[in-house]
Amino acid sequence: MVPSQHTKLSISDVEAKTLYALNSISRVSLERDRHGSYSVSDLVVELSHFLDEDVVNKVETEVYSERLKGEWGLNKDFKVVETRNKEIGLVLNELEEVAWRSAGMLDEKDFNHLKAMISVKRDKDYFDKQFYT
């Protein structure tokens, strides 16, 4: 799927329809006058920071729909729709949250490291030993 060589296209070489699609991404604003000399390869790398899995899946589904319409001569309203059982989504969200919360929990080893960092040059003299416990 990935080409063996990077493209030498720049933003000024991109079709208007493609530029409009790129500008429809949240927080993206490309103009031919200001960004025309930018490389499309560099742009793809930078845009990957804004795109999550859902956006990529939507784009792939749209491209697949357009290809099927062209190959099979389907109605212009045809669209491939990907849906999932709502319960599966809720369970996956719950598992994600549990994993996120458990990853943020500190164990005894973490507490010992924190205590060692805070204890630098502490508990050395008589006065400090009285308050350091």
125 in any annotated domain: no
28 in any annotated domain: yes
- For 31, what's the count of Cα atoms within 13 Å in the CB-facing half-sphere? 2
pLDDT at 11 over 80: yes
Q: Contact 34/43 with Cβ under 8 angstroms?
A: no
Q: What mean pLDDT is predicted for residues 44-65?
A: 79
131 in any annotated domain: no
The pLDDT assigned to 99 comes to 93
79 in any annotated domain: no
Compute the Cα dihedral for 89, 95, 99, 105 and give only its sign. positive
pLDDT at 83 over 70: yes
pTM: 0.37
In whole angstroms, what is the distance from residue 10 CA to residue 32 CA?
Answer: 10
Q: What mean pLDDT is predicted for residues 36-48?
A: 81
What is the extent of the structural domain holding 14? 1-51
88 in any annotated domain: no
**Tokens found for residue 118:** 């805070």
> 6 falls in which pLDDT band (50, 70, 90)?
low
108 in any annotated domain: no
Residue for token digits 């490309």? 30
Q: Is 41 helix (H, G, I), strand (E, B) or coil?
A: helix
38 in any annotated domain: yes
In whole angstroms, what is the distance from residue 101 CA to residue 116 CA?
Answer: 25
In whole angstroms, what is the distance from residue 100 CA to residue 121 CA?
Answer: 35
The pLDDT assigned to 98 comes to 93
**Tokens found for residue 95:** 């598992």
Q: What mean pLDDT is predicted for residues 55-62?
A: 81
Residue for token digits 């599966």? 88
Give the total number of structural domains in the chain: 1
The pLDDT assigned to 24 comes to 82
